[in-house]
Amino acid sequence: MREYIEPTPGVEDMTDSVEKILPALAAGARAVMSSPTGRKVAAQGAMMGADAIRQKLESKKQEVAAAEQELQQAEQERAQQEQIEAQQPAPTAPEEGQGAEIEGMDSAESDVPTEQEGTALPPEAPNPSKPPITKMNTWFQDNFGMTGRELTEILIKGNEVKVLDSIQPLLLLEKQATLSQFPGVSPDLVGSLPLTDLDYDSLNQNSERLNLPFRRFVKSWVSASDEEGRDKAEKLWRTTLDKSERLSHRERGILNNCRSILSSRGAVNAQTLKSYGVQASPAEISSLIKSHGFLFDIIAIGQFSKSMGRGLFYDIKRRDVILKDADQFLAGLIDNSSLFKFDTRLYPRLEINFNAPSAPWYAEALKKEGIAGIKAEGSGLVIEGDTSVLKALEMAEPHLSDRGEYPSPRNMLSALRGDRDTLIVMAYDTVEAKDRSRLLRKHKLSVDEFDNMKEAVKASG
């Protein structure tokens, strides 16, 4: 094999080579075509070339037909879509303030208090690290035992600026959640309404009492056309809210003193408050608590037996009671101081003697255990309704005593579980005398039949 290309004498370049070889190629072609074999081979080659071209042409025709079909289908789909869109009503822009009207104050002269920009919160992506706004109005109280304002005051006094800055978003959410409690009031108004931190605390603590006055204030303030109208609305709100302005320095001191005593010693009446050093008569103390006690978190919790003292007992709003062993606690109350009652409709009622000022707190604690129909009433607790009484007895059942007496908690439990005889006997014993004959007639029982039924129920314990 040669390691290099040798030059051809007489050939200067590629073009010169082609020009010089063409005559030889033409002569060779003529020689091939002059023979029968050559002509046959040439004819076969021509036919094969024509077939290839024909197949290629057919392929292109099929591709064009497929493309035309796809184009026709796409045009049909587009026409259908345009027809559907033409039938749909044109979207209208939402009216400003829509869905944020204040309810209950419709009149010809009233307009919507949210007819201005910024009265609706923009949609936000859910953030699992952010507490729900609906729970934020009590979030600081539930987690720290104080409001956001009280926590802020502590941080300011401690010069904890960085911590204070970090909780600012939570403080904002607390205020927005407070506003969202009131129908028709947008949480986004938190940056516009002239409310102080004390205002927000008052709205949280007295949401029911301040519901209508606050909504009226928001309506008047938002719909005011000038600063004078807004100032007038704010002044009316201040007069409604801050009733402490009408108290003298001495009266504020009396209520502050009462709050301190109740906080440290628990629920007492006005006479006992005076004995602990409050410089006022029991009548004046009662009057001040009735009119302005809510400003100092003082509430009336009921009247109790004469042995504990006459008059209403007062306390401050406290944290919830936590029952570690609610079943044993309830069983002890039912065993020792309960009274079972039915009416002519066989509607059950369980009365529990609980002669203590803290009865409302224990009622709330038992509600959290699932006994929805319990409340503090008179000098004790009352549970009403089939579901609630049955729930209370089943909760206490493992710890109820078994003394075999009639009527007993177990008799009541058996009646509510479907023992018809026990149910009728217990109802007969608890309804008024004038309703007993009607009860027997309702259940088609004669006096003798009822007597035999009652003996059997008492014998069974």
Q: What is the CATH number of domain 326-460?
A: 3.10.28
Write down the pLDDT at residue 102. Answer: 46
Q: What is the pLDDT of residue 168?
A: 86
Q: Name the nearest CA neighbour of 352 among 372, 370, 336, 371.
A: 336
Instruction: Among 61-75, 88-102, 194-208, 222-236, name the most confident range.
Output: 222-236
pLDDT of residue 38: 57
21-38: per-residue pLDDT in tens? 556 555 555 555 566 665
pLDDT band at residue 284 using 50, 70 and 90 as cut-offs: very high
Dihedral sign computed on CA atoms, order 76, 78, 81, 85: negative
Residue 312 has pLDDT above 50, yes or no: yes
Q: For residue 118, is pLDDT > 50?
A: no
Domain boundaries for CATH 3.10.28 within the chain: 326-460
Q: How confident is the model at residue 245 (pLDDT cuts 50, 70, 90)?
A: low
Q: What is the mean pLDDT of residues 348-354?
A: 86
pLDDT of residue 28: 57
Percent of the chain with pLDDT over 90: 5
pLDDT band at 14 (very low <50, low <70, confident <90, very high): low
Pick the more confident residue, 136 or 278.
Answer: 278
- Distance, in Å, from the CA atom of 208 to the CA atom of 271, rounded to the nearest integer, reads 30
Confidence class for position 40, pLDDT limits 50, 70, 90: low
pLDDT 10s digits, 103-113: 444 555 555 54
Mean pLDDT comparison of 42-46, 267-271, 375-379, highest-scoring range = 267-271
The length of the chain in residues reads: 461
83-87, 161-165, 337-341, 404-408 — which is least confidently predicted?
83-87
Q: Please give the pLDDT value at position 128.
A: 42
Q: What confidence score (pLDDT) does residue 343 get? A: 81
Give the 3-state secondary structure of the chain.
Answer: CCCCCCCCCCCCCHHHHHHHHHHHHHHHHHHHHHCHHHHHHHHHHHHHHHHHHHHHHHHHHHHHHHHHHHHHHHHHHHHHHHHHHHHCCCCCCCCCCCCCCCCCCCCCCCCCCCCCCCCCCCCCCCCCCCCCHHHHHHHHHHHHCCCHHHHHHHHHHCCCHHHHHHCHHHHHHHHHHHHHCCCCCCHHHHHCCCCCHHHHHHHHHCCCCCHHHHHHHHHHHHHCCCHHHHHHHHHHHHHHHCHHHHCCHHHHHHHHHHHHHHHHHCCEEHHHHHHCCCCCCHHHHHHHHHHHHHHHCEEEEEECCHHHCCCEEEEECCCCCCCCCHHHHHHHHHHHHEEEEECCCCCEEEEEECCCCCHHHHHHHHHCCCCCCEEEECCEEEEECHHHHHHHHHHHHHHCCCCCCCCCHHHHHHHHCCCHHHHHHHHHHHCCHHHHHHHHHHCCCCHHHHHHHHHHHHHHC
Q: Sign of the C-alpha dihedral, residues 307, 312, 317, 323? A: positive
Give yes or no for residue 96 having a pLDDT over 50: no
Lookup: tokens for 133? 């706004």
- The segment(s) of the chain belonging to CATH 1.10.10.10 are 246-316
Lowest mean pLDDT across 45-54, 173-182, 230-239, 296-305: 45-54
pLDDT at position 99: 46
pLDDT value of residue 325: 82
pLDDT of residue 254: 92
What CATH number matches the domain at 246-316, 3.30.1300.10, 1.10.10.10, 3.40.1190.20, 2.40.30.10?
A: 1.10.10.10
Query: pLDDT above 70 covers what percent of the chain?
Result: 66
What average pLDDT is seen over the chain? 75
pLDDT of 258 > 90? The answer is yes
CA distances to 3, 7, 16, 17, 20 from 12, rounded to whole Å, are 21, 9, 6, 7, 11
